[in-house]
Structure 1
């Protein structure tokens, strides 16, 4: 089965890939509101100008592929969309405490503040110090920690 891979862009300027059976398939899915931006959930989607790319199963691989898909794995665009969807859920379900992150994480850990999921900004040294105290933290790239993505 062959898929057409299109570069798509939402009304907010986020660019992502979409895999479709045909141009008509893209148009039909867009009209029915089935296509949305994996970053902001916008349904205002347009195709960007791009070189055509076909993903044809069973065809010979390029001599030097840039990356190989793992059998049974999601196509790259779908994996990216799933990861971004998960990130949006994390942003939606956490309180942004900004520069107070390390202090607030300690307050929660010691029972001096209500237990709740938080996110914010911490230096590498603050992250290490929290880890040494047994406070689990995970870094999210600053460019992705944006309340507008919710």
Structure 2
């Protein structure tokens, strides 16, 4: 595994792990890399300086290493976009019922007034979602994975 510091065409800096240098090159050549902050293309390696120590030269004192982005807890949002997505996910968790794979059936039942209207979220196959939209049932995809579906 290798970790690269990357930058996008808009100047955002972020890090990502790759199986190898060849893996990064292959993904970049096929245009499969996008910015972790804005989703933009044009991702390339940023200038990096490896920290190599030898017996003759001990590592630099931490106070002599140039300051970079201050460390943050992994549970803290890295930017405004992550902060807004977290707030949206928290609001959904507090005010909506997760119905899983029954989403299309539940949404249709509420639309037909066969069940009480309430806020729900869940999963629907593309053809189910398309049928709901064609029938005038207002739905929208969520910009995140439900918490119980993440690692």
Q: What TM-score comes out, normalization by structure 1 length?
A: 0.48
Structure scoring higher RCO (CA < 8 A, sep ≥ 6) equals 1
Question: Which structure has the bigger radius of gyration?
Answer: 2
